[in-house]
Amino acid sequence: MNEHSEVSTPVSAPSEEAALALAVEEVSKSYGAVKALDGVSLHVARGEFVALLGPNGAGKSTLFQLLTGLFVPDAGRIEVAGFDMRHQARKALACLGVVFQQPTLDLDLSVVANLRFHTRLHGMGRGARTRIDAELERIGLTERAKDRARALSGGNRRRVELARALLHDPVVLLMDEPTVGLDPASREQLVAYVHSLCTHRGVGVLWATHLVDEAESADRVIILHKGHWIASGTAAELRERTGQRSLRDAFLDLTGESSVAHEEAV
């Protein structure tokens, strides 16, 4: 991925005074008797690409629901760009861009109307139009601006959702299993594009996935399992720590599911 960083100088390199893009401290959440998250802490620096890796049921979705302010954690703190999610929710949400796992384009509206809906919800005023044009140009969909979202392919819909999440220039970009339903080429493009966002725009990215290969290129990998934080580090560090040769095996080792994997291999 280093090829992207050579294209131009980063807009805002992570510096000393740049606060953390995202800080999660000791967050817990229960649904009835089920403890979905138990004292999870993590952070994402500006310009950093962090992969949140966990098998299904690890608590990724719950964590994202808390990060987007959909629900309030039972305990712990969430800060976006230094703003507390509980007490300064408006400011925190203004610094947050989200691509949800579920498709969230209004298929009856045109691409540009979908984007305008977002800029208005974010109170971006008259300057919004130029930003919409610029983001559409970046994803190469200027020509499709007036088409109904329904007419776009799955990959292009995802691009539009990503463009939308970036319209208000967020400090943090949350991607909740964003490659679900995409073909391999679109998946690769999306990962590469988001890496370039970290490099050039200084966006801090938290990318939730259960696909190990998407985490491979991340600056840091955080492993979540059954609502608990298990490990954090670069892919190399995790391999080294577990003495495994691939991140996949390291992941299976850390989540205690390696025995299952070996059985499968046999």
Partner 1 sequence: MPTQPGLQQEMPSSDVLNTPPRRSGSIVSHALQALLALSSRETIKFMHQRGRLLSALVRPSLWLLIFAAGFRDVFGVSVIPPYATYIEYQVYVVPGLLGIVLLFNGMQSSLAMVYDREMGLMRLLLTAPLPRSVLLTCKLLAGTFLSILQAYAFVVICALFRLDLPWWPGMLLALPAMFLTGLMLGALGLLVSVYIKQIENFAGAMNFVIFPMFFLSPALYPLWKLQESGATVVYQLARFNPFTYGIDLIRYAMYGQMNWLACGVVAASLIVFLGLAIWGYDPQRGAVRHKRQGS
Contact stretch for partner 1 (CB under 8 A) within 19-27, 122-130, 240-248, 258-266 = 122-130
> Can residue 120 be called a binding residue for partner 1 (CB under 8 A)?
yes
Between the alpha carbon of residue 46 and those of residues 27, 170, 188, 199, the distances in Å are 21, 11, 22, 10
Q: Which of residues 79-118 bind partner 1 (CB under 8 A)?
A: 89-94, 96, 98, 100, 102-104, 106, 108-109, 113, 116-118
> Can residue 8 be called a binding residue for partner 1 (CB under 8 A)?
yes
Q: Which of 14, 39, 69, 82 binds partner 1 (CB under 8 A)?
A: 69
Q: How far is the CB of 8 from partner 1 (least distance, A)?
A: 6
Pick 131 or 248: Cβ nearer partner 1? 131
> Can residue 240 be called a binding residue for partner 1 (CB under 8 A)?
no
Which residues sit at the interface with partner 1, rule CB under 8 A? 3-4, 7-8, 11, 31, 34, 56-57, 60-61, 68-72, 89-94, 96, 98, 100, 102-104, 106, 108-109, 113, 116-118, 120-128, 130-131, 133-135, 137-141, 156, 159, 167-169, 188-190, 192-193, 196, 200-201
